[in-house]
Amino acid sequence: MTGKTLYDKIWDAHLVDQQEDGNCLIYIDRHLVHEVTSPQAFEGLRLTGRQVRAPQKTLAVVDHNIPTTNRAGGLEAIEDLDSKRQIAMLESNCAEFGVPHVGMHDIRQGIVHVTGPEQGFTLPGLTIVCGDSHTSTHGAFGALAHGIGTSEVEHVLATQTLIQRKAKNFRINVVGEAPAHLTAKDIALAIIGEIGTAGGTGCVLEYAGPVIEALSMEGRMTLCNMSIEAGARAGLIAPDEKTYSYLKGRPMVPAGADWDAAVDYWRTLTSDADAVFDREITIDAANLPPLVTWGTSPQDVIAITGTIPDPTALADEGRRTAMQRALSYMGLTPGTPMEDVKIDRVFIGSCTNSRIEDLRAAADYARGRKVAAHVNAMVVPGSGLVKEQAEAEGLDKIFIAAGFEWREPGCSMCLAMNPDKLEPGERCASTSNRNFEGRQGRNGRTHLVSPQMAAAAAVAGHFIDIRKVEV
């Protein structure tokens, strides 16, 4: 018998039923819920008279719509009536169905993918779902985690299971001597640039190799977060000592003898040496420069030292049309050096890059400097606890002194469902994960970068190679 991959092991441990046609029923250990993709699911339960099967395996957090200013005014102060209704609805649905709810005044409140790991809701070897495609973030702990649609949210609420077909195994090895400036964001962008936004379709990615092992838990979350941008529904990293030390003592993590038993089990969660992957690639990190996206797809990646690409050089007509459309949307001329591209806004936040380590890294490039006069820059911590920690370290003061706005936690300008959005034509250096048309505001122009690159660009007023900036 050949060995099993990490994905195979987790899958097998959760298989409730397998039909002859390959459709399977898998058990779901943890379900994260937020205000945007859940109202219709709760509505469905109500209409059919169904209950939430396992409320204690469910955790609701308000994040997508929540304003990042004036929290003190509470729900009443939220101007957008639709947002207010969704936020209120989450609270009342949770009360009605007995689901634990982290509301807007709770210090733990934050982006659901930041709050989950922080609380130890996320553990190795579990299956975790949420009505949000960046649920892949939790794969950093060796959990099988992926986004689901609202019908599936209802399905999980009612049955604690999900109908799935098994995905393919795709291992991405990242090797080589990682340069000092290399961030997890650059690794993520490099992978997406390499395999494309459909490269991982139908697959679960496993990230492996020395460069991945060297990443912090925050970095691993950044990387797994963007698996969905590579078309994969989930990304996985085998748990190790870093994982255990991150988890130990967190509120929802087993303790005492249970902890020891858990760690013993978690140590088995690696791909066997003779496991077979359907696809495997190796990326050499040694030569990776800081990366930036130029277009409207996360695969539109270039080096900071590169120039805006030329569509006429493309043979494939579909790709050429897509590139022309992207360049015109982005207001960019082929041949322009990336470092000459000026920006109007900077957004440091999102479930990709809003954890304490991200804020520390960005603060290094803001300390003692000033945001360029024509740039508006904001920092949105991923959770109340991240914010508290950052303030304890004085990071807020560094940002504020440099001219950054320091906000309350939430999704914010990652998708601009709250008042934080780009004006038409504005160009933004953003640490988020999607640069689609209109993502950060109608006709807004998004360039995806690491927190370091975003902070350095805020100061320079244009994109700049962080290798030139002293910290």
Partner 1 sequence: MDKFTTLTAVAAPMPLINIDTDMIIPKQFLKTIARTGLGRNLFDEMRYTQDGSEISDFVLNRAPYRDAKIIVAGDNFGCGSSREHAPWALLDFGIRVIIAPSFADIFFNNCFKNGILPIRLSDAEVSRLMAHAENGENATLTVDLENQTISGQDGDAIGFDVDAFRKYCLLEGLDDIGLTLQKADKIAGFEADRNQLPWS
Q: Which residues ranging from 100 to 139 are in contact with partner 1 (CB under 8 A)?
A: 123-126, 131-133
**Helix and strand element counts for the chain (H, E):** 15, 19
# chain residues binding partner 1, by CB under 8 A: 78
Packed helices 112-119 and 384-392: angle between N→C axes, nearest 10 degrees: 70
Q: Which of residues 47-76 bind ligand SF4 (CB under 6 A)?
A: 63-64
Which partner from the list ligand SF4, partner 1, none does 111 bind, CB cut-off 5 to 8 Å by kind? ligand SF4
Backbone angles phi, psi at 310, to 5 degrees: -110, 115
d(CA 97, CA 45): 10
CA distances to 295, 425, 442 from 438, in Å: 12, 10, 4
Residue 272 pairs in a beta bridge with none
d(CA 344, CA 440): 13
Which partner from the list partner 1, ligand SF4, none does 462 bind, CB cut-off 5 to 8 Å by kind? none
- What minimum distance in Å lies between the beta carbon of 121 and ligand SF4? 15
Q: Which of residues 314-373 bind partner 1 (CB under 8 A)?
A: 318-319, 321-322, 325
Q: Which of residues 105-134 bind ligand SF4 (CB under 6 A)?
A: 111, 113, 132, 134
Q: Which of residues 334-353 bind ligand SF4 (CB under 6 A)?
A: 350-351
- What minimum distance in Å lies between the beta carbon of 434 and ligand SF4? 7
d(CA 444, CA 453): 19
Q: List, as one string, the DSSP characters of 82-145.
A: HHHHHHHHHHHHHHHHT--EE-TTSTT-B-HHHHHHHHT---TT-EEEESSGGGGGGGGGT-EE
What one-character DSSP code corresponds to residue 412?
G
What one-character DSSP code corresponds to residue 58?
E
Q: Which of residues 292-311 bind partner 1 (CB under 8 A)?
A: 297
Q: Which of residues 413-432 bind partner 1 (CB under 8 A)?
A: 415-417, 424
Which range, of 188-196, 334-342, 411-419, 440-448, touches ligand SF4 by CB under 6 A? 411-419
Q: Which of residues 256-285 bind ligand SF4 (CB under 6 A)?
A: none
The residue within the footprint of ligand SF4, chosen from 415, 422, 459, 464 (CB under 6 A), is: 415
Q: Which residue has tokens 């997508």? A: 64
Q: Are 353 and 185 in contact, with CB atoms under 8 Å apart?
A: yes
d(CA 114, CA 420): 19
Backbone Cα Rg of the chain: 22
Q: Which of residues 179-238 bind ligand SF4 (CB under 6 A)?
A: none
Nearest to partner 1 of 74, 202 (CB atom): 202
The residue within the footprint of partner 1, chosen from 91, 284, 339, 437 (CB under 8 A), is: 437
- What minimum distance in Å lies between the beta carbon of 470 and partner 1? 38
The residue within the footprint of partner 1, chosen from 181, 345, 407, 434 (CB under 8 A), is: 434
Which partner from the list partner 1, ligand SF4, none does 322 bind, CB cut-off 5 to 8 Å by kind? partner 1
* 24-27 and 15-18 beta bridge pairing: antiparallel
Both tokens of 346, joined, read 């900077």
Q: Are 380 and 354 in contact, with CB atoms under 8 Å apart?
A: yes
Q: Are 18 and 24 in contact, with CB atoms under 8 Å apart?
A: yes
Q: Which of residues 236-275 bind partner 1 (CB under 8 A)?
A: 254, 257-259, 261-262, 265-266
User: Does 102 contact ligand SF4 by CB under 6 A?
Assistant: no
Binding residues for ligand SF4 (CB under 6 A): 63-64, 111, 113, 132, 134, 350-351, 411, 414-415, 432-433
